[in-house]
Amino acid sequence: MAALLAIVSSIVWGSSDFLGGKMSRRRNPVAVLGGSQPFGLVAALIAVLLFGKWEFLPVVVRNGSIAGLLGLLGLIAFYWALSIGRMGIVSPISSMGVLIPLAIGLARGDQPTPIQYMGIVVAIIGVVLASGPELSGGASPLPVALASISAVCFGFGVYFMAIGGQINPGVTVVMMRVTQVSLLWTVALVTRSLGQLTVRDVPMLAAIGVTDASANVLYTTAASLGLLSLVSVLGSLFPVVTVLLAWWVLKERLVLIQYLGIGATLCGVIAITVG
């Protein structure tokens, strides 16, 4: 069940990132985050009410808040890197954040089977290749640095999300959203700007926020049921979903290395789940 929930979280996360990325082409990325996260908070609150686990334990509040802060910083760094650098450099670097919760999980005593170890390696390589890495040409240092920061923030953010989720998945996500909404709307109040968002943007903002929060709930629930090392890898496959949606919906052309990456990712997922 943990593996299935983690895979579904990747699908939902990838869909949310696709919608967010598409909207960020015509609206300020920070404004998109600020406008979508309140809907995510509402979705998380509904999930907690449905599951009936309304417990604000200090450890859950602390880990959820830290995960929310790190996730927000990671997204800002990622969007900033994309705005000044090439996606073929930024996206593969950011996707390497999965190595952090994976390493922590193994250090804490997780013991995947040999087949699962093989699947982990293949899946991570597949995600990097599916992101469309640029294998030639130079890169300016700032986007590389920002992508690296986003990878670290995402990696540790996912770890703290999992720690809180092992106790109470729903409240962990609620605290993430409370932290992010508070910070983003504080910025909006200080700058007195909504980033040119309009009423017509509300349906898309709602879709982004709800899918993002739903993915968080699915991931934290998976973390409460399975090994962190395996759940973190399966929950970090969302770049592949985003790439496939861009190919299917926007008709973006994929190169050979991306097809190989998608195939490798699927093989890795199969090895992890059956191992």
pLDDT, tens only, 149-200: 988 998 999 899 989 888 888 889 999 999 999 998 888 788 776 767 888 8
| pLDDT over 70, % of the chain | 95
Distances in Å between the Cα of 217 and the Cα atoms of 12, 13, 128 are 11, 11, 25
Which comes out higher in pLDDT, residue 86 or 247?
247
Evaluate whether 8 touches 218 at the Cβ level (below 8 Å). yes
* Nearest by Cα to 217 from 270, 175, 264, 261: 175
56 in helix, strand or coil?
A: coil
Contact 174, 95 (CB under 8 A): no
Structure pTM? Answer: 0.87
Residue matched to tokens 């983690």: 6
Read off the tokens for 152: 């670290």
Contact (Cβ atoms closer than 8 angstroms) between residue 262 and residue 14: no
